[in-house]
Amino acid sequence: MDTGSDLVWFPCSPFECILCEGKYDTRISTKPPNISTVDFIPCSSPLCSKVHSSLPSSDLCTISNCPLESIEISECSNFACPPFYYAYADGSFTARLYRDNLSIPMSNPSLNLQNFTFGCANSALAEPIGVAGFGRGILSLPAQLAAFSPELGNRFSYCLISHSFDLDRIRKPSPLILGRYNEKQRELSNGETEFIYTPMLDNPKHPYFYCVGLEAIQIGEKRIGTPASLKRVDRKGNGGMVVDSGTTFTMLPSRFYEAVATEFGNRVGRVYERASDTEDQTGLRPCYYVDDSVDDKVVKIPKVVLHFVGNVSVVLPKKNYFFGFNGGNAKKEKRKVGCLMLMNGGDEAESSGPAATLGNYQQQGFEVVYDLEERKVGFSRKKCASLWDNLNRG
């Protein structure tokens, strides 16, 4: 489930996956289906143009029987939409576009989506299972769902279980909620909060992204203002922060990241010893040896607050930005290590598109709601493991 992409796809037979070791669980995966009985998307369809339109001219479809420029103006003579290439940050795949009827079980009655459009992949690089794209594009699952049921498709939310490194918690489900429920009828548990909303920003170059404006990050009592590029999106589609369920850690532009990491290190480094070996191994920094002899209740890790446009402040739980695990130093001693769980996203001057990404690690323990009608993204501190039971109580 990926809010950073706009296509629903899965592997189809015959299927080849390159560099998929460790990512493909044969115990839970069935043989990829043969979908010869469903319809091809015709080349003249705007859906065929859409799946190719955001790709560079080096797209693999340019070596097929239907050149990219012909697809863009819907003058391809071929009946079937030609193969397309789709890339993520950590993998890619080639596929064809198809459509079929999709039934979504509901209490009463089931929802039947006619001519549901999806990608059928026969070759993938490090992406073997498939993705449900939840972005703002017309090929995403919410967009296609909204065409049949606006009530369900124009709003969705998820609540990711904390923490991704806790194997016991991974076995518990993270709720995904399609549609709207009555927030006022829920009694908030201890530590839960009401929804607070920040507006969505339009991105003319990457229209399927959920972009928001980040004004500052607060470390302890010090508020560090963001560069202007994080607060808005310009006419070229550059700037803003993408709220992305498919990216692990929050990525910040280099200079701003250094300011945040330095302020965090100035506070934590007064007490803890720097764990440089762990930094080299993980790419995370700063990291510190947090030995049991140090009372964390006395020496508090500074709070981290995300300040979004619209006077919206999200206070992160400590485990969302400072995670402790077993590490080692140069003497090969096993010691408890804690790292700042934010990442350097690179030099802003050398990149285009969104300036930052809010990753799923920082979203854990919050219900994150995407309201497409009112064009806003909301955050609410929740106990995600019990959210489903609470919604269906009685």
Cβ neighbours, 10 Å, residue 63: 11
H or E stretch including 147?
helix 141-148
Classified by CATH at the fold level, domain 8-41+81-144 comes out as Cathepsin D, subunit A; domain 1 (2.40.70)
What 8-state DSSP symbol labels residue 91? -
**Token representation of residue 233:** 């999106």
Say how many Å lie between the first and final Cα of the chain, rounded. 29
pLDDT at position 129 is 81
Q: pLDDT tens digits, the chain, 394 residues: what are they?
A: 999 999 999 888 888 888 877 665 544 445 566 666 678 888 888 888 888 876 555 555 655 667 767 777 777 766 788 888 888 877 888 888 999 888 877 655 677 888 899 999 888 888 878 899 999 999 999 999 998 888 888 999 999 987 655 554 456 778 899 887 666 656 677 778 889 999 999 998 888 899 999 999 999 999 999 999 999 999 998 999 999 998 989 999 999 999 999 999 999 998 889 999 989 988 899 999 987 544 544 457 999 999 999 999 999 999 999 987 776 555 556 788 999 999 999 886 666 788 999 999 999 999 999 999 999 999 999 988 888 777 666 4
Closest CA to 342 of 261, 270, 278: 261
**Token representation of residue 105:** 């079980």
Q: Is the pTM of this model over 0.85?
A: yes
Q: How far, CA to CA in Å, does 8 sit from each of 4, 62, 169?
A: 12, 22, 27
Q: For residues 103 and 111, give the distance between their C-alpha atoms in angstroms, rounded to a whole number.
A: 6
Angle at 118 between CA 114 and CA 120, to 5 degrees: 135
pLDDT at position 297 is 45
Whether 217 contacts 306, CB under 8 Å: yes
Classified by CATH at the fold level, domain 187-384 comes out as Cathepsin D, subunit A; domain 1 (2.40.70)
H or E stretch including 273?
strand 273-274
Domain with CATH 2.40.70.10 in the chain: 8-41+81-144, 187-384
Catalytic residue set: 2, 244
**Token representation of residue 373:** 């009608």
Closest CA to 193 of 368, 369, 380: 380
pLDDT at position 28 is 43
